[in-house]
Chains A and B, each alone.
Chain A
Amino acid sequence: MKSATSPGIRFLGIRFSGTRFFTAALLAAAFTAHQAAADIKVGFIGSLSSDTGRSTLRGAEIAVDELNASGGVLGGQKIVLIPADTGEDVTEGIKAYEYLAESEEVDFIVSGSIDDVSLGWIPRMREYRIPTLDTWTSYIGIIDMVIEDPEAMMPYFMNIASDEALATLYIDFGKDVLKGQMGWNSVVILAEDTAFGGAITGLVTDALAPEAGIEVKEIIKYDIATVDFAPIFSKAQNSGADFIYLVSSVNSQVVSSQYVKLQVPMAMTGVNVSAMGADYWEDTGGAGGGMSTLSPVPSVGFKLDPVSQAFVDTYRARYKDRPVMPHFNGFNAYHGVKQAMAAAEAAGGFDDVDAWASNMKQQDLVLELDGQLWLRYGFWGDDEVEPRTGRKYPHNIRFDITEPYDEASPSMVVIQWYEDGTTAVIYPKKYATGEFALPSWVK
Chain B
Amino acid sequence: MDIGRHHLALWAIAAAGLFVLPSLVGSGILRTLILANYLAIFAISWDVLSGRTGYISFGQPFLIGIGAYTTAILTKRFDVPMEISIPAAVLVTMVGGLIVLLPALRLRGSYFALVTLALMELCYQLVQVIRPDITGGTRGMSGLPTLTRGASNGYYLSTGLMLTIALTAWMLMRTRLGLALSAIGMDEGAVQGAGLSPTRLKSFAFLASAFIAGLGGAFYTHYLGSIAPRALFDITFLFTILAAALIGGSGTVIGPILGAFFLTFLLEWLRPLLPGAERYFVYGLVALLLYMYQPAGILAIIERVRVRLFGDSRSG
Contact = CB atoms under 8 A, between A and B. Distances in A.
B226 A94 contact: yes
B128 A193 contact: yes
Contacts of A198: 139
Contacts of A124: 225
B276 A194 contact: no
Contacts of A92: 231
A234 interface: no
A120 B226 contact: yes
Contact of A12 (B138, B271, B289): B289
A225 B234 CA distance: 12
Which of A49, A94, A194, A195 is the most central at the interface, judged by chain B CB atoms within 10 Å of its CB?
A94
A41 B290 CA distance: 36
A102 interface: yes
Interface in A65-97: 82-85, 87, 89-92, 94-95
A23 interface: no
Contacts of A223: 128, 138
B92 interface: no
Nearest to A54: B276
Given A89-B228, A195-B139, A102 B31 contact: yes
B276 A119 contact: no
Contacts of A99: 28, 31, 268, 271
Contact of B276 (A85, A91, A122, A224): A85
Interface string A86-116: 0101111011001100111100000000001
B146 interface: yes
Contacts of B146: 123
B277 interface: yes
Which of B31, B140, B226, B286 is the most central at the interface, judged by chain A CB atoms within 10 Å of its CB?
B226
A89 B137 contact: no
A35 interface: yes
A223 B140 CA distance: 12
B225 A123 contact: yes
Query: Could you say which interface size class chain A belongs to?
Result: 35 or more
B142 interface: yes
B12 interface: no
Contacts of A49: 276-277
Interface in A244-286: none
Nearest to A103: B28
A198 to B, nearest CB: 7
A179 interface: no
A158 interface: no
A221 interface: yes
A6 B225 CA distance: 53
Contact of A102 (B128, B151, B228): B151
Interface in B199-246: 224-226, 228, 230-231
Contacts of A104: 28, 272
A256 to B, nearest CB: 20
A48 interface: yes
Given A98-B31, A99-B28, A193-B132, A116 B272 contact: no
Query: Could you say which interface size class chain B belongs to?
Result: 35 or more
Given A102-B31, A103-B31, A89 B277 contact: no
Interface string B263-290: 0000010011101110000000010011
A85 B274 CA distance: 10
B137 A127 contact: no
Given A12-B290, A193-B132, A120 B275 contact: no
Given A193-B132, A223-B128, A90 B293 contact: no
Contacts of A83: 275-276
Contacts of A95: 35
A104 B272 CA distance: 9
Contacts of B4: none
A412 B190 CA distance: 72
A97 to B, nearest CB: 10
A13 B304 CA distance: 13
Given A12-B289, A13-B289, A84-B275, A193 B228 contact: no
Interface in A164-205: 193-195, 198
B276 A48 contact: yes
A36 B146 CA distance: 32
Contact of B231 (A12, A89, A127): A89
A102 B28 contact: yes
A48 B226 CA distance: 22
Contacts of B32: 103
Nearest to B293: A13
A31 B272 CA distance: 10
A102 B34 CA distance: 13
Given A99-B28, A120-B225, A221-B137, 17 more contacts: A31-B272, A48-B275, A49-B276, A49-B277, A102-B30, A102-B31, A103-B32, A103-B272, A104-B28, A119-B226, A120-B224, A120-B228, A124-B225, A193-B137, A194-B139, A198-B139, A223-B138
4 smallest A-B Cβ distances: which pairs?
A103-B28, A90-B228, A102-B28, A48-B276
5 contacts: A48-B277, A85-B276, A123-B143, A223-B138, A225-B230
